[in-house]
Amino acid sequence: MMERAEDLGLSLSLSSSLAAPRTHHVSAMLLRSPEKRFLEMPLLPAKRSEVTAEEGLLRGGSDEEDGSCGIDGSRKKLRLSKDQSAVLEDSFREHPTLNPRQKAALAQQLGLRPRQVEVWFQNRRARTKLKQTEVDCEFLKRCCETLTEENRRLQKEVQELRALKLVSPHLYMHMSPPTTLTMCPSCERVSSSGANSTGAAASSDRRAGGAIISTAAAAAEGAAICHRPIAVRPQQS
DNA sequence: AGTTTTTCTGTCGTTACCTCA
DNA sequence: GGTGAGGTAACGACAGAAAAA
């Protein structure tokens, strides 16, 4: 609450009551988004860069303070310096989420507004998640290929055994037929090693811990166990 | 102690600016 | 110089948790 007040003076968009920010956001949105603006305020300029300085103030006010707003009210896009990015990256590696104190300290250290640091972390988390999703996707694709290949191999084996049965039944009789093609019981959570992991780590949205847990990593544990048939074992009768 | 309201902070989806090929 | 793609800062909407009333 108190730390939140630090932001207050710097960004109007973070004002405190629920109703106020909402209405403020709405007006900001109307000024910012061409489509919605068209729906409700068709006379306003169509592009953000065409928004006047007065409207720029309505939009948030804080831009004025850091000089990121042009004379015409258009907001110049801030490009973080390499040093700033490096510090933020380091900080992110240390803790992907910031408490208000850390945020303020970081902002001060970098000469940015706390809101900017906050946004940077939000975007950084989003990027990390996106990347992880891509990795997960790639991994699952490979799993699928492996399973397909395995399936193909086993089907072939079955065909061969059937052929053998037809050609030389007596020989076949000596080797007891495979009774079952059993999938790993870990699918049913019986495995000793990774039984719990698949479900438990299914979600990669972990707020409190801050750590992003890979779904693929979780799946990997499960998959490594369950996609492999335990045995096609002749059963002694 | 339980309920409602407020505040804060997270994700998600999107926009728009900027750079580069 | 114009253009499209990709990266990313910034934003609004919304949800959920915690604190306050």
Condensed to tens digits (0 to 9), the pLDDT of residues A121-165 reads: 999 999 888 888 888 888 888 899 999 999 999 999 999 999 988
- Give the list of residues 6+ apart from residue A231 with CB closer than 8 angstroms, or none: A182
pLDDT at A213: 38
Q: Any atom of strand C under 7 A from CB of A13? A: yes
Tokens representing A54 are 């007065």
pLDDT at A178: 54
Tokens representing A18 are 């629920």
C-alpha dihedral sign at A97, A101, A107, A109: negative
The number of folded domains in chain A is 2
> In angstroms, how far is B18 C1' from A121 CA?
20
Q: How far, in Å, CA of A196 to CA of A15, rounded?
A: 44
> In angstroms, how far is C17 C1' from A150 CA?
47
Per-residue tens of pLDDT for chain A, all 237 residues:
333 333 333 333 333 332 333 333 333 333 333 333 332 332 223 333 333 333 333 333 333 333 344 444 455 568 888 888 989 988 998 888 888 888 888 888 898 888 889 899 999 999 888 888 888 888 888 899 999 999 999 999 999 999 988 888 787 777 765 544 445 544 444 343 333 333 333 333 333 333 333 444 444 444 433 433 333 334 333
In a domain, residue A89? The reply is no
Positions of chain C reached by protein Cβ under 7 A: 7-13, 19-20
> In angstroms, how far is C10 C1' from A30 CA?
15
Tokens representing A114 are 């706390």
In a domain, residue A97? The reply is no
pLDDT at A154: 95
pLDDT at A14: 30
Q: How far, in Å, CA of A5 to CA of A19, rounded?
A: 17
In a domain, residue A122? The reply is no
In a domain, residue A88? The reply is no
- Give the list of residues 6+ apart from residue A141 with CB closer than 8 angstroms, or none: none
Positions of chain B reached by protein Cβ under 7 A: 6-19
pLDDT at A99: 87
Residue pair A69/A76 in contact (Cβ under 8 Å)? The answer is yes
Domain's final residue, options A77, A107, A123: A77
In a domain, residue A102? The reply is no
pLDDT at A6: 34
Residue pair A140/A219 in contact (Cβ under 8 Å)? The answer is yes
Residue numbers of the domain that contains A51:
1-77
Q: Which residues in 44-83 of chain A line strand B, with CB less than 7 A from it?
A: 47-49, 74-77, 79
DSSP A209: T
- Specify whether A67 is located in the same domain as A139: no
Q: Which residues in 96-135 of chain A line strand B, with CB less than 7 A from it?
A: 97-100, 118, 121-122, 125-126, 129
Q: Any atom of strand C under 7 A from CB of A97? A: no
pLDDT at A76: 59
In a domain, residue A233? The reply is no
- Specify whether A72 is located in the same domain as A138: no
Q: Any atom of strand C under 7 A from CB of A28? A: yes
Residue pair A34/A46 in contact (Cβ under 8 Å)? The answer is yes
pLDDT at A185: 43
Q: Any atom of strand C under 7 A from CB of A122? A: yes
Residues, chain A: 237
Q: Any atom of strand B under 7 A from CB of A25? A: no
Residue pair A164/A172 in contact (Cβ under 8 Å)? The answer is yes
Domain's final residue, options A77, A100, A121: A77
Q: Any atom of strand C under 7 A from CB of A78? A: yes
Q: Any atom of strand C under 7 A from CB of A32? A: yes
